[in-house]
Amino acid sequence: MTTTSLLLVARAPALVEDVPVPAIVDGTPLVIVRHGEQVSVFHGLCPHQGSLLADGEVVDGHLVCPGHGWRFDCASGRRDAGTRACLHRFTTHLVDDDIAIDADELQAFHAQRAGSAAATRRFDSLPGPHGLPLVGNLFQLRETDQHLVMEDWADEYGSMYRIRLGAYRILMVADPALVEDAFKRRPDTFRRMSTVEGIARGLKAAGVFTAEGDEWRRQRKVVVQALTHGHLKHFFPTMMRIVARLQRRWEQAADEGREIDLLDDLTRFTIDVTSTFAFGQDLNTIEGHEGALERQIGEIPKALSRRVTALVPYWNYVKLPADRTLDRALVGIHDTLGRLITDARRRLAEDPGLAARPGNYIEALVAQSDGGGFSDEDVTGNVMTLMLAGEETTARALAWLIHFMCERADLRDMLRAESDALLGDDELLQDFATHPRMVRIEAAALEAMRLKPAAPVLRLEALHDTVLGDVEVPARTPVFLLTRHASIRAQAATGAAAFDIERWIKADGSALDAGSAKAFFPFGAGPRFCPGRFLALLEIKGVISMLCRNFELERAGSGPVEEKLVFTMRPDNLVIRLKRRAGTPPAA
């Protein structure tokens, strides 16, 4: 071996003990860890679901995956004693102050991972539903329940089948192992459909959610740092003040005997939380203080839903009334965010110490981005991404969980017992350190998201000719992942269609079982695991513990609660009635 066969991965003086450092060498993600006197270079993806290990942390000599908490020894890469899972550890070489690995070893690692998989089936040989000339299966899919039709087709035609929507020939995947494989092979083999990125850019809402390739890597580093545990801990008291506001709204409804449109109330809550977290302005929609910005932001999900399902980008040629309303909303949003970003830069210039204790997401993004080529447009896109994710996904996850609580008395009793035990005499969660102990509430949230995910269909496309399973996938082929169907198939032997939080909890009941997350994708999987998942789970724990501690609940209204896909999957016709628990005083 000569120095010419070595590949530089890091500079030794730049390594800080117990701080994981990412690197990409020859397209391979790596993570470098210095623990004590030893420096280790590992493959950078967790063998569980492919999360980026450099986004994790080192605890007690173990590198902890940010996805589901798998722990790997910093010296050997081995997971817990007695298990076979292990990170590949590359032989490290110190040349002057450079940490390097051997190019031949990396090539051998690539060859081993590639294996001998080869296509045995052509795309055109796959089964699928018959369609019409020109339009294919387009008229067999309705916008709001297309996911149900696609899942029915998976039952009929198998875990890999094909459909056609106009000119698009689409590979449908419901096999859990192949869904997970596709997640892990992002962003270099599969990407979000390019039409989605184009639509987001047209809305000037392109952030880490829609970015791809090197652009995604650049943005993700900044966004992850802006959503750290420390920033969430700093924000926690503010979030709980908004939970208290929701509690007062529900107390008033209970005292008046009024029915509650649950999704509307929860959307107000998540808008208030995300607006305050994002740019330090509490819109206070819970108390009816709806302003122009809230109405303007509300136009974005509607536009995304219309445009993602459109066969042609008609808005580039003809503006319908809804498109003109959207254009006016975008002008208002970007004027507001532009002022907020300018103000954040001014505050950081006046007080450089603010970079270590930012008051909101914009300040955190600006602080992380200064000198790193992160533009105001990048900040705007990621703030809008956070607003949309908060309003859409977290509100719907909460609504579906409360729906299951209405249906299951045993679930209500279990979550109430945990809330009572952890909150004591308090009506709300007061201590940030308590939330990790809400094991059953988190397990219930995960189970609700497993059965009622915000995105039951994820639309990707192949960047180049590749193979998925045993099927050849030509470049630019759309690949639709049926994530909910895959999850239920993966755990069919355990009664996967039933709501059961015990599947998520260790046998002794002490903690979540990270290994239970097989084929479960509400926050994605692979390198693009959602960086905002901890904020979402913190909101869910705050609201559910408040609800259990203070109220009795029951379903109101009549008729079934139905799934309706409007950009994300929402519950339709979900109305509840609340009653104060015995011992709670009426509102003054």
Residue 519 has pLDDT above 70, yes or no: no
Q: What is the mean pLDDT of the chain?
A: 84
Name the more confident of 458 and 544. Answer: 544
Question: Rounded CA gap, 481 and 460, in Å?
Answer: 8
Percent with pLDDT over 90 in the chain: 34
For 27-74, give the DSSP string.
TEEEEEEEETTEEEEEESB-TTT--BGGGSEEETTEEEPTTT--EEET
Helix then strand then coil, % of the chain, to nearest 5: 50, 20, 30
pLDDT digits (tens, 9 = 90+) for 310-350: 778 888 899 999 989 989 988 888 888 888 888 888 888 88
- Average pLDDT for residues 538-544, to the nearest whole number? 96
User: Tokens 């309706």 appear where?
Assistant: 564
Helix/strand/coil (H/E/C) assignment for every residue in 386-404: HHHHHHHHHHHHHHHHHHH
pLDDT of residue 588: 43
pLDDT of residue 129: 96
C-alpha R_g of the chain: 24
pLDDT of residue 562: 93
Phi/psi zone of residue 468: left (φ > 0), alpha (ψ -120 to 50 degrees), beta?
Answer: beta
Find, among 550, 541, 557, 542, the residue nearest to 578 by Cα.
550
Contact call for residues 190 and 461 (beta carbons, < 8 A):
yes
Question: Rounded CA gap, 169 and 125, in Å?
Answer: 12
Of the pLDDT bands very low, low, confident and very high (cuts 50, 70, 90), residue 514 is low
Lowest mean pLDDT among 122-136, 148-162, 177-191, 550-564: 177-191
Sign of CA dihedral 513, 60, 84, 522: positive
Q: Decide: helix, strand or coil at residue 177.
A: helix
- 153 CB-near residues (< 8 Å, 6+ apart): 128, 129, 161, 163, 172
Question: Rounded CA gap, 100 and 341, in Å?
Answer: 40
pLDDT of residue 477: 95
Residue 238 has pLDDT above 90, yes or no: yes
Contact call for residues 174 and 159 (beta carbons, < 8 A):
yes
Instruction: Return the bridge partners of 170, or none.
Output: 163
- Average pLDDT for residues 133-144, to the nearest whole number? 89
Whether the predicted model's global pTM rises above the 0.85 cut: no
- Average pLDDT for residues 402-426, to the nearest whole number? 95
Residue 476 has pLDDT above 90, yes or no: yes
Find, among 394, 376, 395, the residue nearest to 574 by Cα.
395
pLDDT of residue 587: 46
In the chain the domains, ranked by start, together with CATH numbers, are 3-104 (2.102.10.10), 214-580 (1.10.630.10)
Contact call for residues 512 and 464 (beta carbons, < 8 A):
no
Residue 203 has pLDDT above 80, yes or no: no
pLDDT digits (tens, 9 = 90+) for 451-473: 999 889 989 999 999 999 889 99
Residue 493 has pLDDT above 60, yes or no: no
Of the pLDDT bands very low, low, confident and very high (cuts 50, 70, 90), residue 118 is low
Name the more confident of 112 and 413. Answer: 413
Q: Decide: helix, strand or coil at residue 132.
A: strand
pLDDT of residue 196: 78
Annotated binding-site residue? 530:
yes
For 254-298, give the DSSP string.
HHHT--EEHHHHHHHHHHHHHHHHHHS----TTTT---HHHHHHH
- Average pLDDT for residues 78-90, to the nearest whole number? 75
pLDDT digits (tens, 9 = 90+) for 259-313: 999 999 999 999 899 888 888 888 888 987 766 777 887 787 778 778 877 778 8
